[in-house]
Structure 1
Amino acid sequence: MNFLSHYYFDRTNSDANVVMGTVLPDLVKNAVKEANLYPHKNEFLFKGSPDEENLLIGWKRHLAVDLLFHSSDFFLEKTTELKQLVKPIVENTAVRPSFLAHIGLELLLDHLLVEHNLIQVNHFYEKLSAVKKESLSDFLEHCKLKNPEVFFNFLEKFVSSKYLLSYQKLENISYALNRICMRLWSKTLDEKQLQQLTFELEIFKDALKQDYIVIFKEIEKKLV
């Protein structure tokens, strides 16, 4: 799941550290691609610091949510459907339709949560801003993250730009998907293909909005 979908499960949580923890694995991966952190395997390192303990709680929530989501029938069915829609668009590119369908589904779930007013994006950013840099720095040091300054530069831009607000428009989701693909492949989508992608995302979204909340309810039950 993407950032806002992870936030959904802790949208009422008053602890900013837990909220940060729920998106921290993806923030780290976006900032430092080669980083592989496993704080849940060394929980004793965070004992005695309430902030770090709560960051770890959030981190473990992230892993649990992703595991439940990616192993669900919902994920398999919806990515299969979207893959068929995007396949003709990426035919003459290096982009894998299965990859585009996977990430496309996740961004559309974020989009629908915002559109249906189930989360407040500004509240999400407020929570991230409330986390003490020292606590987060100590947590990442215990995780043995190299180049933490790269991460903190990324985090500052991520929060200040409020980029996730742009997911309210489908054409912005298409551009975001293409940018993600550019990290992996040299030949991605041109302007015409991006317009076609937005068109197909609109069609898929109309069907998805009928039952998308089911997966959130299903995961929420299992998390409890």
Structure 2
Amino acid sequence: MNFLSHYYFDRYNPNSYEVLGSILPDLLKNADKISNIFPEKNEDKFTQPYELAILKGWKKHLKVDKLFHNATFFLEHQHQIKLKIKDLLENTPIKPFFAGHIAIELILDHLLLKHQKIDATRLYKHLDNVSKHHLTAFLNLNSVKEQEKFFTFFEMFKKEQYLKSYEDVANISYALKRIFMRIWPNPLTTKQEDTLTQILIDYIFDIEEKFIIIFEQIERQLLND
């Protein structure tokens, strides 16, 4: 799941450090794609309340991703989107399976905003509430290198608040293209990007009355865990 979809499960959580932890794995990956830490395997390191709160959010992130990626909803829609964009991507380096995976996650973020299931502004307020000193301490405990690179990205992420733009479906295909460009230079033409946008619009229309089912399903599983 993407940033906003993870936030859905903490939309009523008043603890900003837990909220940060719930999206921190993706923040680190976006800042540096080779970043790879496993705080859940070294829980004894964390003793301060803010460290434990970040860790709690981090573990929730892992749990939500596992539930989502094993859900019938994800497997079905990833596959269906792959089939719909397969011909479009035929002469590009982009793998339809990978594109389908990312697309359904971005679509869910879009639908959460469109149907006002979350307030993205509150997410950003939580991030602003987190002390840089505390976050640095957590990263140090996990031996995170290139912290300047991370904080440069993190500050830009908070300032630009680009997740709010996902309410416009055209920005979903643009975000998808930007993800592709991290791996392949200039993978899509403007015409292909326009076609992709229309495919996503049509797909969103087909699922928007039932998309919330996957969130309700995961929420029940989290409560029963």
TM-score bin (small chain) = over 0.9
| Whole-angstrom CA distance in 1 between matches of 2:60 and 2:205 | 29
1:216, distance to aligned residue in structure 2 (A): 0.4
Q: What's the CA shift for 1:166?
A: 1.1
CA contact (8 A) 1:94 1:187 kept: no
Question: Which structure 1 residue ranges, 4+ long, deviate > 4 Å from structure 2?
Answer: none
Distance in 2, matches of 1:221 and 1:172, equals 31
**How many angstroms apart in 2 are the aligned matches of 1:186 and 1:153?**
23
Per-residue deviation, residues 26-70 of structure 1 (Å, max 9, x unmatched)? 0001112111100000111112x1011000000000000000000
Query: 1:181-220 maps to which residues of 2 (within 5 A)?
Result: 181-220=180-219
Aligned to 1:77: 76
**Residue 130 of structure 1: aligned partner:** 129
User: Could you say what secondary structure the match of 1:90 adopts?
Assistant: coil
Name structure 1 gaps, 5 residues minimum. none
What is the match of residue 159 of structure 1?
158
Residue 39 (structure 1) aligned with residue 51 (structure 2): no
CA distance in 2, matches of 1:221, 1:135: 32
Q: CA deviation at 1:187?
A: 5.0
Give the drift of 1:151: 0.6
Contact kept, 8 Å, 1:95 with 1:187, in 2: the verdict is no
Give unpaired runs (5+ residues) of structure 2: none
| Residues in 2 aligned to 1:67 and 1:151: alpha-carbon distance in whole angstroms | 25
**Given residue 42 of structure 2, which amino acid in structure 1 is its aligned partner?**
N
TM-score (norm 1): 0.98
Aligned residue in 2 for 1:95: 94
* 2:56 aligned counterpart, secondary structure: helix
Deviation at 1:182, TM superposition (A): 1.0
Matched with 1:114 is 113
Output the aligned Cα RMSD.
0.8
SS in 2 for 1:62: helix
What is the deviation of 1:211?
Answer: 1.3
Verify the 8 A CA contact 1:7 1:19 in the aligned structure 2: yes
State the SS of the aligned residue for 1:66.
helix
TM-score by length of 2: 0.97
Paired residues of 1:89 and 1:193 also in contact (CA < 8 A): yes
Instruction: Deviation per CA, 1:114-153: give whole Å up to 9, x if none.
Output: 0000100111100111011111110010011001111111
Greater CA drift, 29-38 or 5-14 = 29-38
Q: For residues 202 and 189 of structure 1, what CA distance do their matches in structure 2 show?
A: 18
Q: Give the count of matched residue pairs.
A: 223
Q: C-alpha displacement at 1:162, in angstroms?
A: 0.4
Q: What's the counterpart of residue 176 of structure 1?
A: 175
Residue identity in the other structure for 2:32? V
Q: Per the alignment, in what secondary structure is the counterpart of residue 117 of structure 2?
A: coil
For the residue of structure 2 that corresponds to 1:160, the secondary structure is helix
Percent same amino acid among aligned pairs?
A: 47
